[in-house]
Structure 1
């Protein structure tokens, strides 16, 4: 008897949490300017991509150039 009562209470709590989350999400999405958010994210990505590329490129060292010139 006690177990079924706890499950019912938790189920109700879970439903309330889900409804609250959906409500907050809808409110937030209505206030959000999607175009502005997209452009801001794109601008940040445009700045980050060159940085990331330079981090991943293995630049030849002077020693590599000397060895190649000897070949």
Structure 2
């Protein structure tokens, strides 16, 4: 399960939030991500692929460590 980054502290009493809104699974994230076309060199030729880069939290596995999800479409 992927989550948005933690919001900034509110300045109120209590512990600040550790994670933001739920983003869902990588498949659900791919449906709403913004893709850009980028040339990629692979297998001795240059192809154009669609790439999306999302910074988020993989809270279940890495707790509050920020991860970078790279989504690629041909």
Normalising by structure 2, we get a TM-score of 0.18
Larger radius of gyration: 1
Higher RCO (C-alpha under 8 Å, 6+ residues apart):
2
